Amino acid sequence: MQTAVRTLGLCKQYRGKAAVDHLDMQVSQGEIYGFIGANGAGKSTTFKLLAGLARPTAGQIELFGRPMETGTAARRVGILIEDAGLYGSMSARDNCLLKARLLGLDEETRAVDRVLAQVGLDKMGKKKAKHFSMGQRRRLGLALALVGSPDLLLLDEPTNGLDPEGIRDVRLLLQQLQSERGVTILVSSHILGELEKLATCYGIIREGRMVEQITAADLAARCRDYIAIKTSDPHRAAALLEERLHLHEYTVYPEGELRLYDAADPARVNAALLEGGVAVQSIGIHRQELEDYFLQRMGAEDHV
Ligand SMILES: Nc1ncnc2c1ncn2[C@@H]1O[C@H](COP(=O)(O)OP(=O)(O)OP(=O)(O)O)[C@@H](O)[C@H]1O
Ligand SMILES: [Mg+2]
């Protein structure tokens, strides 16, 4: 699959302080990439760099396999970031029409009306954007990002301030853009449960650096529930459970822990081990929530 976004050693410094610090990012075409990080980790700055709204201090950006030159990205990249590009004295429709003209689009009115309907702003009439509610402004920002049918969407907290219905609508819209048009979508959010419903892969950023990129499938596998067994002989315990209970998915840890990923009843596991003469110090089900996984890597414990 073609790579939609690749950065190599991407850096952005503000007054000598790194906001983005040698960031290596790779996103395949058609993915919905959940971009996760604590406040100040560098998500918005990364989006600005990718959209050509800020200039990197060092490093490279490739979009769709080509080096990005500032200014050339506009047509294929739609960005939603804070209130950028939004004119308060104009209506939603006029804001979108202006964007369409700036992109040099012909069929502008029809496309603009479709985009406004997609974000639920088709009934706003002449109301000026500065009088919009927070959620309505977000929706307008999203509409502006969608003008011109870009192949890459950079959405910085797109559901921030939206009501539950709006959040669901945005999710359905993004999924539709991905499945029908193969749009690549980078989306940041602090609502991990919401990203989880949407993202096909994740990037975790901490202090400007990429901590980990992981597909949703790998993450789900890693966060699977398991039975943790503490014993002095985990290898023997594993062999025994394979033989007696046909449990084959496990990992043995040197500290004497055996993790069983097959769904099994801990009581039966315990009984089988005792019968086989393996002394069990402790046994229990371990659940790792996705949230814990992210929080650990985001460095949240440092901020408490
Ligand atoms: N224009 C700027 N001038 C100076 N420092 C900046 C500027 N923009 C961002 N920074 C700094 O860069 C760092 C990263 O900021 P950024 O906005 O990218 O974080 P973020 O991950 O988007 O955080 P949040 O979750 O709060 O939106 C922060 O320390 C911030 O103070
Ligand atoms: Mg931000």
pLDDT one-digit tens code per residue, 93-118: 999 999 998 888 876 677 899 999 99
pLDDT of residue 73 exceeding 60, the answer is no
Atom index in ligand 1 nearest the CA of residue 47 equals: 18
Q: What is the pLDDT of residue 32?
A: 97
Q: Compute the distance between CA of residue 146 and CA of residue 124 in angstroms, rounded to an integer.
A: 18
Query: Domains in the chain, please, with CATH?
Result: 3-220 (3.40.50.300), 224-287 (3.30.70.100)
Is the predicted pLDDT of residue 30 greater than 50, yes or no?
yes
Ligand 2 center to 138 CA (angstroms): 14
pLDDT range class, residue 85, cuts 50, 70, 90: confident
Q: What is the pLDDT of residue 72?
A: 54
Between these two residues, 1 and 103, which has the higher pLDDT value? 103
Q: How confident is the model at residue 303 (pLDDT cuts 50, 70, 90)?
A: very low
Report the chain's mean pLDDT, rounded to a whole number: 90
Say if CB 218 and CB 51 are below 8 A apart: no
Q: Considering only CA atoms, which residue is closest to atom 1 of ligand 1?
A: 14
For the stretch 232-279, pLDDT in tens is: 899 999 999 999 999 999 999 888 899 998 878 889 999 999 999 999
What phi and psi, each to the nearest 5 degrees, are found at residue 130? -70, -15
- Dihedral sign for Cα 9, 24, 207, 141, please: positive
Encoded tokens for 134: 């927070």
Proximal ligand: closest to the CA of 53: 1
- Residue 9: which of 228, 18, 17 has the closest Cα? 18
Ligand 1 site: residues with CB under 6 angstroms?
A: 14, 19, 37, 39-45
Can you give the pLDDT at residue 300? 60
Model pLDDT, residue 304: 37
Give the model's confidence band at 231: pLDDT under 50 very low, under 70 low, under 90 confident, else very high: very high
Alpha carbon 63 to its chain's center: 18
Sign of dihedral through CA atoms 237, 243, 247, 249? positive
Cβ atoms 126, 89 nearer than 8 A: no
- The ligand that comes nearest to the alpha carbon of residue 190 is 1
More confident residue, 194 or 70: 194
Q: Which of 77-81, 143-147, 202-206, 290-294 has the lowest mean pLDDT?
A: 290-294
Tens-digit pLDDT profile for residues 114-133: 999 999 999 999 999 999 98
Q: How far is the CA of 189 from the centre of ligand 2 (A)?
A: 9
Q: Considering only CA atoms, which residue is closest to atom 2 of ligand 1?
A: 14
Neighbours of 215 (CB within 10 A): 14
* pLDDT confidence tier of residue 56, bands split at 50, 70 and 90: very high
Mean pLDDT value of segment 293-300: 80
Q: What pTM was estimated for this model as a whole? A: 0.82
**Closest Cα to atom 17 of ligand 1:** 44
Q: What percent of the chain has pLDDT over 90?
A: 65
Ligand 1 atom at minimal distance to the Cα of residue 15: 4
Pocket test for ligand 1, best of 12, 14, 191 (most atoms within 8 A of CB): 14
- Of 292, 293, 288, 241, give the one whose Cα is nearest residue 262: 241
- Separation of alpha carbons 1 and 156, rounded Å: 25
Local structure of 155: helix, strand or coil = strand
